[in-house]
Structure 1
Amino acid sequence: MSIIDGRITGFTVYPLAFSDPPLLNAAGVHEPLALRTVVRLEAGDVVAWGEGRGDALPPDVVPALEAELLGLDVFATSRIESVVDGVLRRLRPDLGAQARLMTFAPIEVAALDAQGKLLGRPVSELLGGALRDRVDYSAYLFFKWAGHIGADDDEWGAALDPDGIVAQAERMIDRYGFRSIKLKAGALHPDVEVASLLALAEAFPGLPRRIDPNGAWTHDTALDVARRLDGVLEYLEDPVLGIDGMSRVHAETGLPLATNMCVVETEHILPAVRSDAVQILLSDHHYWGGLRRTKELAAICEATGMGVSMHSNSHLGISLAAMTHVAAAIPNLAYACDTHYPWNRADDVVPDGGIEIVDGAVTVPTGPGLGVEVDPGRVEELHERFVRSGRGARNDGDYMRRGDPAFTDALPRY
């Protein structure tokens, strides 16, 4: 029997910048360009891809990572993680454990993509096999400006009141068939956000609904919102900051609470379980350390009685494919996952039609690896846009202050 040669022969990192609408949130408003990091791994003739957060791979460590990773086997992901961790501990001792996992995550996804292509198997099978053919995603609604500062209105237009949010939902559901709804809150006064959620409940009576203010509310505001939305919500996401704050809100309302803010490392899980602060954990392979760690996290959730779903930030199709593969392989995934993809797909590095959301779900790719093609020319184009932009980090607060100099991103706000 021949042994497959999975040695890494190429490692390239591409910081990317792509178009993002002016979506409002507790931190401010999305800037015209969103940032992501794409990793290209080569193993002989195989080219594989991974995608991470914009700050996933610090540029000052990339040459050292390349030197250490070349020659390693793409099947030896534990060894790859150890090498990445060692490089970061040596060159960037200021980085904490989560930042090191964020660096490894897109590399792990690329390694799994390479493994699948070498074996002729989809990534979901490398994770234990798909338990569902399709993965449900939620319509992710935002209050938003009509267009960016100094620019024309975009195709979605403004959504600054209940009518605007319902119109946005109608358009998104008509286009993608979503069967659940999430509203990003913490941007406007809670009265407007509650009214918008109630309007959505009236317009779409059969769809599960969530609201996420990213910790922008005080304890009293969270209790008031929970009272006014009694019987309307599937769950409430991060109404207040911190495990202790979440525990108090749940104890006083009985409402299921979800988080991607107060439980973001394994050391947070036990305190959250002991205080009954979180009933649904929103995993995110980009900062939990990849797809296999996400599966492990789901097993921990099952053992501790927490539900599990998936968090999202502005992303491209490589991430959506990776999210879909791991979600398909998680037995206890009980809620539709989040995705920003409808807001960002126009600039995708996966060619048009490579990933489609139909009836609110993505069909699990069955081709080798991630099962999607990546356009290298498009990657180069978005990398050049990043270089020209001169940007290195996202700052929603500073951009908001260009339109509202009095804005503060200090939380809680209401």
Structure 2
Amino acid sequence: MLDATTQQVFSQDLPDQQPFCRIQKIEVTPVAFADPPLLNSVGVHEPYALRAIIVVHTDSGHYGLGETYGDEVHVNRLRRAAEELINADPFNLNVISRLVSASLRQDDGQGGHGTGGMVTTTSLDDRVLSAFNVACLDIQGKILGLPVSTLLGGAVREHVDFSGYLFYKWAAHPGQEPDKWGPAEDPAGIVAQARIMVNDYGFRALKLKGGVFPPDQEAAAIEALHKEFPDIPLRLDPNGVWSVPTAINVGHRLESSLEYLEDPCLSIADNAAVRAEISLPIATNMCVVSFADLPPAMDAKAIDIVLSDHHFWGGLSRSKLLSGFAETFGLRLSMHSNSHLGISFAAMIHLAAATENIDYACDTHWPWKRQEDDVIVPGVLSIQEGRVKVPTAPGLGIELDPQALERMHQQYLDSGLRQRNDTGYMQSIDPSYELKSPRW
């Protein structure tokens, strides 16, 4: 817990007003859900994806939901932050943010990023704050009888458009039966996967996760997609593993096929060098992942589009701050996705609904998740015609299923996984696999 001096600093100069309610208890529960063998630039997804579920209870009888990464280091930080939020006012998001930051200053030296992904330069304070910010907004909406989109300034759209997220993949994890998607390890397999996305979900934009095979092969897959779906915008994301010359060559080749190229290189400087030579817009979720990254990226003219992610940027409130920055400085916006459950999906939908300058269909892993694997009561969120209807019930518009939460926590315990390690899993299957950046 915070010491007396720190508590005094936090309490001074605050208005003396009666809060609507106070946080009484916070539960942080790690869960696991089945994940297909999706290939990426650092390996392959393990059989289970990890998430952490935050349930914030108030003395008024309301609860709010948040969802974030489930790696053990991150879960420990969440629990430490949760201790500091007891008795806080969930309507005072500034104090919530201060308390989370203070809990992290007492870090026990465990180190580690803890977010289960390949992006490691995000703000520690923001990625721990995010789930608590979402949960507090959920509480506010339930108390006031308003959807979170209204609390964020008001919905400007009734539906949010999403893109079909294509992956190179194996037919199944070793020792498991093939899934409904089948293998996708060449252009024909990617086109077949895209047909399922378009036919079953109605997606009107498609994105290919690249950085897996030689760039010529991935460019051929984009060209095959463009031939099969000439009216559907396409994106390619090699996750920063191309060299500058490779990115320029592929960028020229695909200028007539792509809507934008995402993170061809890893650094701001390298992406700036690529952008200076190609006409394609460059999007990022790797070289600009915090507010500190924005000034150097703007100075270098490295990017055109920020793929925001409220898990990185401090929750929904600070993501709205990002949208204002983008509007002011002429950046365009879309939304990044990692493997997620329904709480994060609902939060993404409310944020996109209330962010007028979302210029592109947002990313989502939703189709890759078994629909029975979730912690919310089903029936609210579904993708039809490539879009999701924005919930209008109070808060996030979703409800926790306690039995499902318990079942998925048991799945976490049984899985034996405590951190995401795509590279280690790949090397357990193919010992010759090496992590390289740039790879081509």
| TM-score bucket of the superposed structures, by smaller chain | over 0.9
The question of 1:363 aligning with 2:378 is answered no
What is the alpha-carbon distance in structure 2 between the residues aligned to residue 61 and residue 199 of structure 1?
Answer: 45
For residue 265 of structure 2, give the secondary structure of its aligned residue in structure 1: coil
The alignment partner of 1:384 has SS state of helix
Pairing partner for 2:264 from 231, 239, 245:
239
Which residue pairs with 1:299 in the alignment?
324
Counterpart of 1:401 in structure 2 is 427
Comparing 102-111 with 83-92, greater Cα deviation is found at 83-92
2:416 alignment partner, one of 376, 390, 407: 390
TM-score, normalization: structure 1?
A: 0.96
Instruction: Map residues 53-72 of structure 1 onto 2, 5 A cutoff.
Output: 53-55=69-71, 58-62=74-78, 64-72=80-88
Three-state SS of the structure 1 residue aligned to 2:51 is strand
* Structure 2 stretches lacking a partner, 5+ long: 1-17, 113-120
For residues 218 and 122 of structure 2, what CA distance do their matches in structure 1 show?
35
The answer for the alignment partner of 1:12 in structure 2 is 27
Unaligned runs of 5+ in 1: none
| Other-structure match for 1:325 | 350
Q: Give the 3 Å change call, closer, same or farther, for CA 196–58 of structure 1 in structure 2.
A: closer
Give the 3 Å change call, closer, same or farther, for CA 35–232 of structure 1 in structure 2. Answer: same
Q: Which residue of 2 aligns with 1:128?
A: 153
Cα pair distance change 1:90/1:399, threshold 3 Å: same
Q: 1:377-405 CA deviation, whole Å, 9 max, x = no partner?
A: 11111111112223221011111112221
**CA-CA distance at 1:45 after TM superposition:** 1.7
Count of matched residue positions in the alignment of Structure 1 and Structure 2: 413
Q: Deviations over 1:57-103 (max 9, x none)?
A: 73444554343212111101111111111011123465887122111
Q: Which piece of structure 1 moves more, 186-195 or 363-372?
A: 186-195
Q: 1:132 to 1:59 in 2, by over 3 A?
A: closer
Q: Verify: 1:196 aligned to 2:193, yes or no.
A: no
- Pick the aligned partner of 1:284 from 309, 316, 335: 309
Q: Which of 79, 92, 99 is residue 76 of structure 1 equivalent to?
A: 92
With over 3 angstroms needed to count, the CA separation of the structure-2 counterparts of 1:115 and 1:224, relative to structure 1, is: same
RMSD: 1.7
- Structure 1 counterpart SS, 2:173: coil
1:9 offset after TM fit, Å? Answer: 1.5
Written as runs of structure 1 = structure 2, the 5 A alignment for 1:2-401 is 5-43=20-58, 44-55=60-71, 58-62=74-78, 64-92=80-108, 98-346=123-371, 347-401=373-427
Q: Is the 8 A contact 1:216 1:413 kept in 2?
A: yes
Cα distance per residue 1:115-153 (max 9 Å; x no partner):
101111000000000011111000000010000011111
* Conservation of the 8 A alpha-carbon contact between 1:23 and 1:143: yes
Q: 1:59/1:198 Cα in 2 relative to 1: closer, same or farther (>3 Å)?
A: closer
Judged with a 3 Å threshold, the aligned counterparts in structure 2 of structure 1 residues 74 and 118 are, in CA distance, closer, same or farther, namely same
Quick one: which amino acid aligns to residue 87 of structure 2? G
Q: 1:37·1:57 contact (CA, 8 Å) conserved in 2?
A: no
Q: Match of 1:83, as an amino acid?
A: L
Give TM-score, length-normalised by structure 2.
0.91
